[in-house]
Amino acid sequence: MITALINQIPVPKDIPLDLPLPEWILVVILIFSFLLHILFINLMVGGGVLTFWYELRGLKNKDYDTLAREIASTITVNKSLAVVLGVAPLLSINVLYTVYFYSANALTGAMWISIVPWVAVAFLVFYLHKYSWDRLADNKALHLGILSIGVFSFLMIPFIFLTNINLMLFPEKWAEVSGFFDALTLPNVFPRYFHFITACLAITGFFLAFWFGRKGYTMNENFKNLSKKTIKKQMLNLALAATGMQFIFGPLLFLTLPTQGVTWGLFWVIAGGVTVAVIVVWQLWKLLNDEKEIVGRRYVWLVVLFTVLVGFMGTGRHMYREDALKTHKQMMAERTATHWKDVQKAHEGLLMPEVETDEGPVSPGEALFNNNCAVCHAANNRLVGPPLTEVVPIYENNSEDLKKWIKEPGRKRMDYPPMAGFPNLTDQELTDISKYLLEEEWN
Amino acid sequence: MDFPLFHLDFMGNRMLVALIAIIHVIINHALAVGFIPLVTFLEFRGYQKKQRNAEKGEAWDEVARKLLFFAFIITTTIGALTGVGIWFATSLANPASIGSLIRVFYFAWFSEWIVFVLEVIFIMIYYLTWKKSKQSARNKKRHIIFGFWLSVFSFLTMAIIVGILGFMMDPGSWEAQKTLASGFFNPLYFPQLIFRTPVAMMMAGCVALLYTAFMLKKGNPWRPEILKHISFWILLWMPIAAVGAYTYYWYIPRAMIGNLPVALATQQFQSWYDSLLIVMIVSVAVGFFISILGTLAPKRLPKYLLIIPVLVSFMFLGTFERLREFIRKPYVIGEYMYANGILVEEYPLYQQSGLLKHTPYSSISAITEENKLEAGEAVFNIACTRCHTTHGINSVVVNFEKMYGNQDTLSTDAMKAYMKNMHNVRYYMPPFPGNDAELDALAAYIAEQQKRPQQLEGAQIKGVDVKELDY
């Protein structure tokens, strides 16, 4: 049973080049740049969902339509930042987990590459939605329809990323999956997804509370009844509810993690994160009941708390990845070392198969012929070029013309492709070849 | 070898990369590097005209803004995504090569990324502050100066990237020196830059001309003059583009021939080189004709014909990018890794003891009569699929049929003889990496494919077979 399981694990060789930086620096870059990237992704996805929700409510109350429009204008900026900021973590994960990441990419390749056109189209759809607001004011069904394509895309595309990031952690599953949908149904992808989407809503609510609550923001004159205070309250409500929901999705994610990467260290880091999360919820509650309209000190304090929380979770995420891959990384390192010893042996000729040489040494002309000509010319058969029985007699007693032809051939037979020239051969080499050709019996 | 292999059996993996990369380069050149200076130029002219005629100046400003809007939408969607897409596609098409390159060029790419982030932020600022800039003449002036610096900045982005690309594509210097500076200013660096810059400007002009011709109605009083200005912009860069093209054309063989691994390559190169000349002459001539007409008689400019210079300049760039790709073969990383993703240094091992024995992603270790075809498929997967398909683009079956004059049945002996020595006569082919038994199985597989064609699915569809390795 155990051997059967072990047999399933592919052990490839690692790339035989050093990391460009000490590993820990790359890890810091990865975690930091990833969190920055995911922040804007959160705002982009959450912004999309909220725009949809408020535009829908705007059908009955025009104020919400205005609010939706204001939120929509933040998405297009956030999405641009989300994409460019994604390149640094992509580079870093490529360097740190080359074999794991690329293997997962290949195994889900069709969906993985579809991210490129899909996201491009989703972004275009969001622009179309944003810039057709007035023109489609009388055709809300179509306008909402356009938006729903964009929001649907934003909600689906994360599955592709999460499936990859999950699959790369489990080399033992690589032989089992055929295509994206197999990989999608591995345990842990869905809990990860709910955790992520809920975070999107929490972060977006928290951000928009600031966005509409900040001093510099002057209320759009189209608002009739909706006040700055109400908007702030709704946004904070969302942030609080979504953060609260994480107390369900978080444990669900933790409990469905395959156990091989779960360690006490990870447990304590997650526990630290949970503690901060409790404080976050408590402080959000206080902020919500704060009568002051303008975002103040408590908000800044919450930003700090959120940062710490995300820092804990980001670190935990990395620790789990490292622990889950620990054994496999070791196996891969051993295998790579053995492989390069074998390569060395091969260079010393130790692995050469026994070659039977019963024909004695070959003439220089024959050796040159085998290397340069035999690919296209055989004695009796047509290969790429005509058989030697046909062409050699043309040059009987005329080695000079034969040499000229080999060096710079023309085209005589229209039913064959033109011959490539050999300007690289020296005169001596040409002489050797022509001598071999003319002296050998070709029948 | 060490990765599950993604494979597209119709279009081929390289076509996927080429498609994404060429779209990206075209958007980068036509809608960023060349476009921002053109928009700033039009905005500046609008500002000047506003002094004498407010309405006219306003109309110019609006045209400039709309042009920028168009560029802004395309660059932040398709432009940005195809940029990231190059990473996605290359890591699928040749994971071993991109995985190695990224370890050596991490800093180069990281700095490119920083420049890229700044560029996106600056373009957003430039576009999003446009409406505010109309509030006063002072704001407008500042906005135009910002546009000017943004133009300089996007030019620098290109200058950096051309250097990095030159370094990565330059066979030889990577192994020999492994320093960034030596490769950055490779012999083709300046010719390439002198050539790409005016081409980007002209492409931007062509796209702007097309867009403006459709955006402004025929009766618009400012239309002729604006079209004239854009045409003049193209005309202005024409001599520089011609000089740049000639310089580049002159430098390529001098810088490249020495790098070509086999003298035979020169033949193949010559035909590429000739086609480049034709494309250059045609595109410069078309651009010249349109811009002369637009400058002298903007009212007679036929709006539908304007699509031609746009298409021609795209074709021009496409040919150029293909030529650049050409110099790398048979390597994917000069003298270090072959196009099949196998290291030059590993060759002796695989040629002596076989590929299949060393890959975890095939259930076969020893080839027998029974598993010969299956083994042939596995060898084909490892050794050929990075460039070839079974029956699609660059199909092995079709290539062999063509080579042997469309014979009904491919001879396995002939194919074996060919594949064993192909690197000597086809300079762009890497040597066959496996042992004789694998060569035999591969030839049998190809012959079988001719007889009973069957699509070869990549790892993204059929997954991978895994075996335990002894190590």
Determine the Cα–Cα distance for residues A106 and B7; give it in Å rounded to an integer.
9
Chain B positions touching A113 (Cβ under 8 A) are: 16, 85, 88-89, 92
**CA-to-CA dists, residue A436 to A369, A376, A392, angstroms:** 8, 16, 11
Looking at the structure, tell me whether residues A271 and A195 fall in a common domain. Answer: yes
Chain A positions touching B87 (Cβ under 8 A) are: 87, 90, 94
Looking at the structure, tell me whether residues A368 and A329 fall in a common domain. Answer: no
Chain B positions touching A424 (Cβ under 8 A) are: 262-264
Counted residue by residue, chain A has a size of 443
Determine the Cα–Cα distance for residues A10 and A173; give it in Å rounded to an integer.
9
Chain A positions touching B366 (Cβ under 8 A) are: none
Q: Which of A13-22, A291-300, A368-377, B205-214 has the lowest mean pLDDT?
A: A291-300
Residue A373 is predicted with a pLDDT of 85
Across the interface, of A17, A339, A370, the residue whose CB is closest to B100 is: A17
B99 and A178 in contact by Cβ < 8 A?
no
Provide the chain B residues 140-159 that lie in CB contact (below 8 A) with chain A: none
Residue B423 is predicted with a pLDDT of 85
Q: Is the pLDDT of residue A114 over 90?
A: yes
Residue A73 is predicted with a pLDDT of 92
Residue A207 lies in a domain: yes
B366 CB within 8 Å of a chain A CB: no
Q: Minimal Cα distance from B124: which residue of A? A: A77
B213 CB within 8 Å of a chain A CB: no
Show me where the domains of chain B are located. Answer: 13-338, 346-462
DSSP assignment of B162-193, as one string? HHHHHHHH-TTHHHHT--HHHHHT-TTHHHHH
Cβ atoms of B425 and B264 within 8 Å: the answer is yes
Q: Is the pLDDT of residue A378 over 90?
A: no
pLDDT in tens, B331-370: 887 778 899 999 999 999 999 989 999 999 999 988 999 9
Q: Where are the alpha helices (DSSP H) in B54-93?
A: 54-74, 80-93
Min distance A92 CA to chain B CA atoms (Å) = 9
Q: Is the pLDDT of residue A31 over 50?
A: yes
pLDDT in tens, B430-443: 999 999 999 999 99
CATH of B346-462, one of 1.10.10, 1.10.3470, 1.10.760, 3.40.50: 1.10.760
pLDDT in tens, A133-174: 999 999 999 999 999 999 999 999 999 999 999 999 999 999
The count of structural domains within chain A is: 2
**Region A111-122 average pLDDT:** 97
B360 and A10 in contact by Cβ < 8 A?
yes
B404 CB within 8 Å of a chain A CB: yes
Determine the Cα–Cα distance for residues A141 and A316; give it in Å rounded to an integer.
44
Looking at the structure, tell me whether residues A312 and A376 fall in a common domain. Answer: no
A421 and B267 in contact by Cβ < 8 A?
yes
A174 and B464 in contact by Cβ < 8 A?
yes
Residue A329 is predicted with a pLDDT of 94
Residue B256 is predicted with a pLDDT of 59
Q: Where are the alpha helices (DSSP H) in A13-139?
A: 23-57, 62-96, 98-107, 109-131
B91 and A179 in contact by Cβ < 8 A?
no
Give ∠ CA B267-B268-B274 in degrees, rounded to 5: 90
Mean model confidence pLDDT for chain B: 85
Q: Is the pLDDT of residue A365 over 60?
A: yes
Question: Please, which pLDDT band fits residue A361 given cuts at 50, 70 and 90?
Answer: low
Residue A4 lies in a domain: no
Residue A266 lies in a domain: yes
Residue B88 is predicted with a pLDDT of 94
Question: Please, which pLDDT band fits residue A438 given cuts at 50, 70 and 90?
Answer: confident
Question: Please, which pLDDT band fits residue B170 given cuts at 50, 70 and 90?
Answer: low
Across the interface, of A109, A371, A417, the residue whose CB is closest to B421 is: A371
**Which of B24, B101, B425, B457 to mutate to test binding with chain A, by most A CBs within 10 Å of its CB?**
B425
Q: Is the pLDDT of residue A304 over 80?
A: yes
Determine the Cα–Cα distance for residues B92 and B7; give it in Å rounded to an integer.
8
Contacts with A27 (C-beta within 8 Å, 6 or more apart), sequence order:
A96, A318
Question: Please, which pLDDT band fits residue A271 given cuts at 50, 70 and 90?
Answer: very high
Question: Please, which pLDDT band fits residue A277 given cuts at 50, 70 and 90?
Answer: very high
Chain B positions touching A334 (Cβ under 8 A) are: 471
Q: Is the pLDDT of residue A246 over 60?
A: yes
DSSP assignment of A286-340, as one string? HHHT----S--HHHHHHHHHHHHHHHHHHHHHHHHHHHHHHHHHHHHHHHHHHHH
Cβ atoms of B13 and B92 within 8 Å: the answer is yes
Min distance A120 CA to chain B CA atoms (Å) = 5
Looking at the structure, tell me whether residues A194 and A298 fall in a common domain. Answer: yes
A352 and B117 in contact by Cβ < 8 A?
no
Chain B positions touching A123 (Cβ under 8 A) are: 76-77, 81
Number of A/B CB contacts below 8 angstroms equals 244
Residue A292 lies in a domain: yes
pLDDT in tens, B4-51: 999 999 999 888 988 898 889 889 889 999 999 999 999 999 999 998
Looking at the structure, tell me whether residues A126 and A249 fall in a common domain. Answer: yes
Chain A positions touching B263 (Cβ under 8 A) are: 422-424
Q: Minimal Cα distance from B359: which residue of A? A: A12
Q: Minimal Cα distance from A23: which residue of B? A: B103
Domain with residue A433: its CATH number is: 1.10.760.10
3 state SS of B331? strand
Looking at the structure, tell me whether residues A314 and A384 fall in a common domain. Answer: no
Question: Please, which pLDDT band fits residue B171 given cuts at 50, 70 and 90?
Answer: very low
Looking at the structure, tell me whether residues A371 and A300 fall in a common domain. Answer: no
**Region B59-69 average pLDDT:** 94
B2 and A342 in contact by Cβ < 8 A?
no
Determine the Cα–Cα distance for residues B188 and B324; give it in Å rounded to an integer.
10
Min distance B81 CA to chain A CA atoms (Å) = 6
Chain A positions touching B116 (Cβ under 8 A) are: 84, 87
Element (H, E) at A10: none
Residue A352 lies in a domain: no
B88 and A115 in contact by Cβ < 8 A?
yes
Chain B positions touching A82 (Cβ under 8 A) are: none
Across the interface, of B2, B84, B103, the residue whose CB is closest to A17 is: B103
Residue A3 lies in a domain: no
Chain A positions touching B113 (Cβ under 8 A) are: 84, 87-88, 91
CB-side neighbour CA atoms (13 Å) of B319: 21
Q: Is the pLDDT of residue A325 over 90?
A: yes
Chain A positions touching B127 (Cβ under 8 A) are: none
Residue B262 is predicted with a pLDDT of 46
B76 and A80 in contact by Cβ < 8 A?
yes
Provide the chain B residues 105-134 that lie in CB contact (below 8 A) with chain A: 106-107, 109-110, 113, 116-117, 120-121, 124, 128
Question: Please, which pLDDT band fits residue B261 given cuts at 50, 70 and 90?
Answer: very low
ipTM surpasses 0.85: yes
**Region A308-329 average pLDDT:** 92
- For residue A426, what are the domain limits? 364-439
Residue A426 is predicted with a pLDDT of 85
Looking at the structure, tell me whether residues A259 and A381 fall in a common domain. Answer: no
Looking at the structure, tell me whether residues A373 and A254 fall in a common domain. Answer: no
pLDDT in tens, A65-87: 999 999 999 998 999 999 999 99
Question: Please, which pLDDT band fits residue A4 given cuts at 50, 70 and 90?
Answer: very low
B349 and A346 in contact by Cβ < 8 A?
yes
Residue A375 is predicted with a pLDDT of 79
Report CA B191 to chain centroid distance, whole Å.
Answer: 18
Contacts with B225 (C-beta within 8 Å, 6 or more apart), sequence order:
B298
Q: Which two tokens stand for residue B72?
A: 């802004």
Contacts with A257 (C-beta within 8 Å, 6 or more apart), sequence order:
A188, A320
Task: Report percent pLDDT > 90 for chain A.
Answer: 63
**Which of B8, B23, B103 to mutate to test binding with chain A, by most A CBs within 10 Å of its CB?**
B103
Q: Which of A329-343, B216-230, B302-316 has the lowest mean pLDDT?
A: B302-316
> Considering only CA atoms, which of A275, A423, A14 is closest in space to residue B267?
A423
Chain A positions touching B128 (Cβ under 8 A) are: 77
Looking at the structure, tell me whether residues A247 and A289 fall in a common domain. Answer: yes
Q: Minimal Cα distance from A104: which residue of B? A: B4
Mean model confidence pLDDT for chain A: 89
Q: Minimal Cα distance from A13: which residue of B? A: B2
Q: Is the pLDDT of residue A359 over 90?
A: no
